[in-house]
Amino acid sequence: MAAGSFAERIGIRITEVGSDYLRATMPVTPDLHQPYGILHGGVSAALAESVGSVAAGLCVDPERFMCLGQEINANHLRPVSAGVVTATARPFHIGHRSHVWGIEIRDEQGRLTCVSRLTLAVVPRRVSAP
């Protein structure tokens, strides 16, 4: 699903899918740092949106619908400069036209580093003419 995508390029790997969550990891490397030597907030937001989008996509018929990000917010709570972060997405709302997901990002010690809320539109796929 993410082959050749931005998510693959920054090292996001889906590690676990549960009945009400999806979990992924991402290495924190210097090329993902902001100038102060810590994980760039935009990268945390990209991780959150990637994990939430995949989770939402698993809740719809992918041949009929796709889930597209509409709004994301992120609160950065603790800096991370190295290691691996783990993002866990859980749904707040799964509707026919929209989804809202909460994503927690934690460091290797299990400390909360970022919380995010992602709203996605559930959009019908266009049918190609034969």
Contact, 39 vs 68, CB < 8 A? no
Residue 46 to residue 117: CA distance in whole angstroms:
12
| Residue 108 annotated as catalytic | no
Question: Among 49, 71, 104, 108, which one carries the catalytic annotation?
Answer: 49
Give the dihedral sign, CA 8/25/30/42. Answer: positive
Q: What domains lie within the chain, and their CATH numbers? A: 6-124 (3.10.129.10)
Helix (H, G, I), strand (E, B) or coil at 120: strand
- pLDDT by residue for the chain (130 residues), tens only, comes to 567 889 999 999 999 999 999 999 999 999 999 999 999 999 999 999 999 999 999 999 999 999 999 999 999 999 999 999 999 999 999 999 999 999 999 999 999 999 999 999 999 998 765 6
Q: What global pTM score does this model have?
A: 0.93
